Chains A and B, each alone.
Chain A
Amino acid sequence: MSIKDPPAKAAPDKDWSALMAAAQDGDAKAYGALLGAITPYLRGVARRAGLGPEEIEDGVQDILLTLHSIRQSYDPKRPFAPWLLAVARHRLIDRLRRRGRIRLRETALTEAHETFVTDESNHHEEASDVRRLHEAIAVLPAGQRQAVELLRLQELSLKEASAVSGQSPSALKVALHRALKRLSRLLPRS
């Protein structure tokens, strides 16, 4: 599986490298500017990798989250674009492999799978949405489950949740984002 290199002119490497170096030093403004600037570039990379329009934003968000969690590994003496592209490649290849595996074992439902004439009869599980939600939360990894419970179910602020869990606000944000994405996969909209 290969992901083609995007055109070099699409990546103003020096600016991005300087922004990333500033972000590593804690400059939130530079970080926001960097993430905003690389997002269209990453959409292009994701599109070229073969992601469908409905998957591109998910793929880009995956890359941004990974970049955030490994930002200490970037060396400002080296060019930024190859580092970013390598991170993007890893995440997109993971995503394409996962998609391949899911497609291999899933079969789309057809009308023949319906057992009753009325829609309501086929969707009786809607009555137990809350139970399904709690079951789905229960299967999340511990860190993600805690993030959902504290930030969504108990509606604590990031600061409060951080004090309760001992995790940094940044780690909680990443965990919550991953948890919500996972839940949206576990609980597809009917």
Chain B
Amino acid sequence: MRSTEDLIASLSTGLTPVRRLKPPLLRALGWILLATAVIAILVLLRGFRADIDACLQDPAYLIQVVGAWLTGAAATLAAFEISLPDRKRSWLLLPLPFAALWLSGFAYGCLGDWIAIPSGAPVMADSIRCLETLVMASLPLGLVLWMMLRRARPLRASATAWVGALAVAAFADTAHLLIHVVQASSLVLVINLVPVTIILMIGGFFGRQALRAAA
């Protein structure tokens, strides 16, 4: 084993300047703005859902949309904070109240007024369009978030990846809620929660590996 003094000499020889990371709040705000812009672009491309006027009068819908966006914003801030070594783990709790609000919107809307799948409804075609929106939102957002988080080379790669994946999933679902009409309660649960869970699992697992490789 070489001595610690040799290692210090080796590390300090030819040292190059590094670009300091901006404060996590600033970096999080940048990404939240990007996520909101991506949602706006998707809405422009695909249009608001046909029943948007009625939806804006529905408290369950508003709770879902606002809850999803706030979950995304809180999870983003938590991801940037937790990616730094000296920040408290309690940042991980920040998105939880907003996630509870988001999920309570589904529970209130679906379980309070259960609507069965109408006969002859184009379930498969609708589901594919929904998935397209979720993928179009989550892929670019996930990629940019990963590139931003890996600059910190997070020591808590796993926690950073999971909370980052939650941010991506929540913003992708915000876009989905604004664009797609899903009438049947069972489909609302399946089309929102299943892809969100998949984004979370993929982002959490692969993000963890990718961030570990960067550390």
Please give the residue numbers on chain A whose beta carbons come within 8 Å of chain B beta carbons, in ascending order. 23-29, 31-32, 35-36, 39, 57-58, 60-61, 64-66, 68-76, 78, 82-83, 85-87, 90-91, 158, 168-170, 173-174, 177, 180-181, 184
**Residue on B nearest A72 in the bound complex, by CB:** B18
Q: Across the two chains, which residue of chain B brings its CB closest to A66?
A: B155
Which one, B1, B4, B18, contacts A39 given CB within 8 A?
B4
The docked-state distance in angstroms from the alpha carbon of A14 to that of B90 is: 27
Contact A72 B19 (CB under 8 A): yes
Contact indicator B85/A87 (Cβ below 8 Å)? yes
Residues A173 and B11 in contact in the complex (CB < 8 Å), given A70-B153, A72-B21: yes
Residues in chain B near residue A23, CB distance under 8 A: 15
**Residues of B contacting A39 in the complex (Cβ-Cβ under 8 angstroms):** 4, 8
| Main SS at interface, chain A | helix
Task: State the Cβ distance, A8 to closest chain B Cβ, in Å.
Answer: 15
In-complex Cβ contact of A73 among B2, B12, B152 (8 A): B152
User: Among the listed B2, B13, B18, B84, which residue makes an inter-chain contact with A24, where contact means beta carbons less than 8 Å apart?
Assistant: B18
| Size bracket of the B interface | 20 to 34
Smallest Cβ-Cβ distance to A173: which chain B residue? B10
A173 to B8 Cα, complex, angstroms: 11
Contact B12 A28 (CB under 8 A): yes
A27 with B152, Cβ < 8 A, contacts A82-B86, A83-B85 known? no
Residues in B with CB closer than 8 Å to A28 are 12-15
- B156 on the A face (CB < 8 A): yes
**How far apart sit A36 and B12, CA to CA, in the bound complex (Å)?**
10
Bound CA span A83–B7, Å: 21
Closest to A91 in B: B155
20 contacts between A and B (CB under 8 A): A26-B17, A27-B15, A28-B12, A31-B11, A35-B12, A64-B4, A65-B7, A69-B215, A71-B18, A72-B21, A75-B23, A78-B86, A83-B85, A83-B86, A86-B86, A90-B85, A91-B155, A170-B15, A173-B11, A177-B2
Residues of B within 8 A of A71 (CB): 18
| A168 in contact with B152 (CB, 8 Å) | no
Contact mask for chain B residues 190-215; partner A; CB cutoff 8 A; 1 contact, 0 none: 00000000000000000000000001
Complex interface: chain A residues within 8 A of B9 (CB)? 32
B8, A69: Cβ atoms closer than 8 Å: no
